[in-house]
Amino acid sequence: MISLKFSDGKAWCIMAVNKIKLPHLKRTKNSETIDIPVPEKVVISMSQHMGAPCRVLVNAGDWVKAGQKIGEGDSFLSCPVHSSVSGKVTEITDILRADGKYTKAVVIASDGLQIVSESVTPPKVTNREEFIEAVKESGLCGLGGAGFPTHVKLSFDKDKTPVDSLIINAAECEPYITSDYRELMENSEDVLDGIKKVQQYLGIKNVYICIEDNKAEAVKLFEKLTSSDSSVKIVKLKSLYPQGAEKVVIYSATRRIVGEGELPVNRGVIVLNVTTVGFISRYLKTGMPLVSRRITVDGDGVRTPCNVRVPIGISIRKLAEFADGNIEAARKIILGGPMMGTAVYDPDAPVCKTNNAVLVFIKEAQEQPMTNCIRCARCINACPINLMPAKIEKAYKAKDISALVKLKVNLCMNCGSCSYVCPAKRELAHTNQLAKELITK
């Protein structure tokens, strides 16, 4: 780790961002996406991503069609929710989210016919404003996991924060997950078309498609497909974690450092997940909003790990059953990857737009006992942001807010590397989140 100096956010001496080695476990790499049969019931949460929850537009007893808008967001940081099936709304209920808050959800009994709503028509897009509006109406949020509403990312101020680089994040550095890899392999045309659309309407010069080197076939394919386009560069990243974290991928592709309190646009960059950009192309062609997505189902609790295209709102149980999973024996179910995903308490919880994987574990769920910190500094050498998790933990225990502020715990992105490498099995990443909450109080 060499200390860095930078002007305009660009590092001018080469500095390695700390990363760690993880097992890849990409068992579903070659599993082509399968459509899951339409479930009898979907539960569509009005809070699909970060930002304000949506207002419900339908009532119990209403008939809805696939692609029909059923929830509308009023704040800037939200996008609408659509029905993923055709059928009858049986109830509007409250569901408990992973963060402990209740949110409204629409329960729809499917009629199995998947009648498409009349509102589903290709949007008319001729300029930047119409493009951003179309993206908003599609209900698109980042499909890589964090789930930032995409239209918000796209509507940067051209004069204040000019953007010259678009980064397509296809690093997919979490173990198990291959849904973005399948997007690269199966929908390469959509991905490239989506990139062209974003480039065209937002006027972005350079494109970097960032792929980890454990996906050699994808790297080869895209190098071939983009060989005639000088504005698109394929960036081959080492397969290390957290290569796909926004700040890390921006640094890897452009050597720009997104500072504290800044957004990527402040450094002239926007980052879009590869499936997100592929969806933009499909939406502009068909007008079908974000009502389904590809999910990797894996873990030692499923017998047939696979990639499945599912309607938003399907239950985890249905998905696990589809992959021949034994949900009764499961000890831990994770929405997302093993490093940053959320453990769910209810196997009947619905899948959201941001979930890229469902992992069912039977054996691998055993917790190891926590022992004393031995100050080995592995957490410090693993942190991509150069934080000091061991020190933060001590300061948090002492509830020393000024020390926590100085230690910059607010910069923690909860990648989990510190907890992963800790020989004493301390919950360092979790403590960082508690500390973040403590200092914002």
Partner 1 sequence: MEKLVVSASPHMKSGVTTAKIMTHVLAALLPAAFASAIIFGGRAMILMGFCVAVSILWEKLFCLVTKKKDTTDDLSAAVTGLLLSFNLPVTLPLWMAFIGCFVSIVITKQLFGGIGQNFANPAIVGRIVLMLSFPTAMTTWAEPFYYRFDEVRTGATPLVTKSESYADLFLGNVGGCLGETCKAALLLGGIYLIAMKIITPHTPLAFIGTVMLFSLAVGEDPVYQLLSGGLILGAFFMATDYVTTPVTGKGKVIFGIGCGILTCVMRFYGSMPEGVSFSILLMNILVPYIDMFTPTRPLGAKKAEKKKGED
Q: State which of positions 394-413 bind partner 1 (CB under 8 A).
A: 402, 405-408, 411
Is residue 97 a contact residue for partner 1 (CB under 8 A)? Answer: no
Report how far residue 73's alpha carbon sits from residue 52's, in angstroms, rounded to the nearest whole number: 7
Is residue 419 a contact residue for partner 1 (CB under 8 A)? Answer: yes
Among 424, 436, 438, 439, binds partner 1 (CB under 8 A): 424
| Nearer to partner 1 (CB atom), residue 208 or residue 420 | 420
Is residue 146 a contact residue for partner 1 (CB under 8 A)? Answer: no
Write down the least CB distance from residue 297 to partner 1, Å.
Answer: 16
Is residue 300 a contact residue for partner 1 (CB under 8 A)? Answer: no
Is residue 235 a contact residue for partner 1 (CB under 8 A)? Answer: no
Find the part of the chain contacting partner 1 (CB under 8 A) among 65-73, 138-146, 203-211, 334-342.
Answer: 334-342
Find the part of the chain contacting partner 1 (CB under 8 A) among 113-121, 139-147, 205-213, 253-261.
Answer: 253-261
Is residue 338 a contact residue for partner 1 (CB under 8 A)? Answer: yes
Write down the least CB distance from residue 428 to partner 1, Å.
Answer: 10
Is residue 427 a contact residue for partner 1 (CB under 8 A)? Answer: yes
| Nearer to partner 1 (CB atom), residue 150 or residue 417 | 417
Is residue 268 a contact residue for partner 1 (CB under 8 A)? Answer: no
| Nearer to partner 1 (CB atom), residue 57 or residue 385 | 385
| Nearer to partner 1 (CB atom), residue 227 or residue 433 | 433
Is residue 358 a contact residue for partner 1 (CB under 8 A)? Answer: no
Write down the least CB distance from residue 179 to partner 1, Å.
Answer: 18
User: CB neighbours of 336 closer than 8 A, spacing ≥ 6?
Assistant: 145, 174, 177, 342, 355, 356, 357, 359
| Nearer to partner 1 (CB atom), residue 294 or residue 378 | 378
Residues 170-209 that bind partner 1 (CB under 8 A): 175
Is residue 340 a contact residue for partner 1 (CB under 8 A)? Answer: yes
Find the part of the chain contacting partner 1 (CB under 8 A) among 46-54, 70-78, 257-265, 289-297.
Answer: 257-265
Among 24, 215, 247, 353, binds partner 1 (CB under 8 A): 247
Is residue 350 a contact residue for partner 1 (CB under 8 A)? Answer: no
Is residue 414 a contact residue for partner 1 (CB under 8 A)? Answer: yes
Write down the least CB distance from residue 434 to partner 1, Å.
Answer: 9
Write down the least CB distance from residue 390 to partner 1, Å.
Answer: 7
Find the part of the chain contacting partner 1 (CB under 8 A) among 50-58, 70-78, 148-156, 338-346.
Answer: 338-346
Closest CA to 38 of 90, 89, 106, 113: 113
Long-range residue pairs from 398-406, CB within 8 A, at least 24 positions apart, any chain: 399/438, 401/438, 401/439, 404/435, 404/438, 404/439, 405/439
Find the part of the chain contacting partner 1 (CB under 8 A) among 51-59, 127-135, 281-289, 342-350.
Answer: 342-350
Is residue 302 a contact residue for partner 1 (CB under 8 A)? Answer: no
Among 77, 388, 438, 439, binds partner 1 (CB under 8 A): 388
Find the part of the chain contacting partner 1 (CB under 8 A) among 61-69, 73-81, 302-310, 416-424.
Answer: 416-424
Report how far residue 50's alpha carbon sits from residue 220's, in angstroms, rounded to the nearest whole number: 35
